[in-house]
Homo-oligomer: A and B are copies of this chain.
Amino acid sequence: MPIPIASLDTPAALVDIPRMHRNIQRMQQRMNSLGVRLRPHVKTSKCLPVIQAQIAAGASGVTVSTLKEAEHCFKQGIRDVLYAVAIAPGKLRQALELRRSGCALGIITDSVQGAEAIVAFAREHDERFAVWIEVDCDGHRSGLAAEGTVLIDVARILSVGGQQLQGVMTHAGSSYELDNPEALQALAEQERARCVLAAERIREAGISCPQVSIGSTPTALSALSLDGVTEVRAGVYVFFDLVMHNIGVCVAEELALSVLTTVIGHQQEKGWIITDAGWMAMSRDRGTQRQRHDFGYGQACSETGEWIEGARVTGANQEHGIIALGDASVADLAVRFPIGSRLRILPNHACATGAQFPDYHALDADGVVHTWSRLHGW
């Protein structure tokens, strides 16, 4: 049932629905104009109304980070699901059950051992999995070198083993370390080129490799060309956050997730406001620590969302946030921010902060709050 914001208990995770829709439109239109499908990564929201808004705007299928997300999406009628973490052999049974239920689940691997495990399990259960090979485009984490022989070995193991090689996929995770458009454009091009190269090498080896999937929010918003790419995966754009703001791919008015908190104390001589949004609410994510602006555990705003310049969550215990004001005019802290008054905190990392809450409280253009549940756990 819709409820007014004033009645919310704190801490609460607020979603600004109009901003969220604008963010969804922005990414979808960009992908449309670049001529690729958008397969949003739902690990950011883990929340059905958000995912439905992405699909309504034109998304093609979803990307998930857990099989629980896959099951949840499939139960809601979303068939085209890519599980974008190299699958542990122990999870193949759950993947099989999803496919037997009618879910067009794609799984990924980046190793000979992983491919062999898929083939062995598939043979045992008479299944033909849709498999993607993960490519490493920037040395960030996982994936096979686009130029290496293992890539072809893995493609051949899957193909000879009767699996459907769906394509190649990569994630330019190192984009989170950049903060200027030229470097982002260069990385986006590197991501594109490496992944396309991997697909071409597999095709040259005589193995079908129809799809080329890339994506991270910063590169998706920076790429000048996506020639050879068939789909883009991106997640955090739906809410954006302070990390994305520091990278330079969004402005403050696009930040759609915040934490509503109540002032519970002051340490006047230190210039501290104590709130009930500690790290349990904000998460321990310190993603802006090594960026252009270190926002501590978050940027403080008024209850209605206006930035309070220099007011950052400089410390966090489990249920206590410490906001320090950057300026010297802190003589009247308890007057300016009385106990019981409320603030909103913009998070460093929307994926991590959202995960701390069982529900979002989504605020529509009329100021009415809707409760949207989200997934927790695996």
A residues within 8 Å of B by Cβ?
9-11, 43, 65-66, 85-91, 94, 110-111, 113-114, 117, 136, 139, 141-142, 173, 262-267, 270, 274, 276, 279-280, 283-286, 315, 317-320, 322, 334, 338-340, 349, 351-352, 355-359, 376-378
Q: Tell me the smallest distance from the CB of A21 to a CB of chain B, in Å.
A: 24
Residues of chain B with a CB closer than 8 A to A352's CB: 279, 284
Oligomer copy total: 2
Q: A173-B317, A377-B357 are in contact. Are A339 and B114 (CB under 8 A)?
A: yes
Contact B378 A11 (CB under 8 A): yes
Contact A9 B378 (CB under 8 A): yes
Q: Which chain B residue lies CB-closest to A113?
A: B339
Complex: A295 Cα to B318 Cα, angstroms = 21
Contact A274 B359 (CB under 8 A): no
Q: Nearest 3 A-B pairs (CB), nearest first?
A: A284-B284, A358-B377, A88-B262
Contact B10 A88 (CB under 8 A): yes
Instruction: Choose among A264, A334, A352 the residue with the greatest number of B CB atoms under 10 Å from its CB.
Output: A264
Residues of chain B with a CB closer than 8 A to A114's CB: 264-265, 339
Complex: A240 Cα to B266 Cα, angstroms = 31
Residues of chain B with a CB closer than 8 A to A286's CB: 284, 286
Contact B85 A319 (CB under 8 A): yes
Contact B85 A320 (CB under 8 A): yes
Residues of chain B with a CB closer than 8 A to A110's CB: 265
Q: Which chain B residue lies CB-closest to A64?
A: B319
Residues of chain B with a CB closer than 8 A to A66's CB: 319
Contact B265 A86 (CB under 8 A): yes
Q: A117-B340, A334-B113, A355-B280 are in contact. Are A88 and B317 (CB under 8 A)?
A: no
- Not counting A113-B339, A114-B265, A142-B265, a sample of 5 additional A-B residue pairs whose C-beta atoms are within 8 angstroms of each other reads A85-B319, A89-B262, A89-B339, A90-B262, A284-B284
Q: Tell me the smallest distance from the CB of A177 to a CB of chain B, in Å.
A: 12
Q: Tell me the smallest distance from the CB of A138 to a CB of chain B, in Å.
A: 12
Q: Tell me the smallest distance from the CB of A191 to a CB of chain B, in Å.
A: 16
Q: A89-B339, A280-B355, A319-B43 are in contact. Are A111 and B265 (CB under 8 A)?
A: yes
Complex: A266 Cα to B111 Cα, angstroms = 8
Q: Which chain B residue lies CB-closest to A112?
A: B334
Contact B351 A320 (CB under 8 A): no
Q: Which chain B residue lies CB-closest to A6?
A: B90
Complex: A319 Cα to B173 Cα, angstroms = 13
Complex: A262 Cα to B66 Cα, angstroms = 14
Q: Which chain B residue lies CB-closest to A284?
A: B284
Q: A111-B265, A111-B266 are in contact. Are A88 and B142 (CB under 8 A)?
A: no
Q: Which chain B residue lies CB-closest to A93?
A: B9
Q: A376-B358, A377-B358 are in contact. Are A264 and B86 (CB under 8 A)?
A: yes
Contact B113 A318 (CB under 8 A): no
Complex: A85 Cα to B339 Cα, angstroms = 13
Contact of A141 among B86, B117, B284, B322 (CB under 8 A): B322
Residues of chain B with a CB closer than 8 A to A358's CB: 376-377
Q: A318-B43, A377-B358 are in contact. Are A141 and B274 (CB under 8 A)?
A: yes
Q: Which chain B residue lies CB-closest to A116?
A: B339
Contact A339 B141 (CB under 8 A): no
Complex: A76 Cα to B65 Cα, angstroms = 36
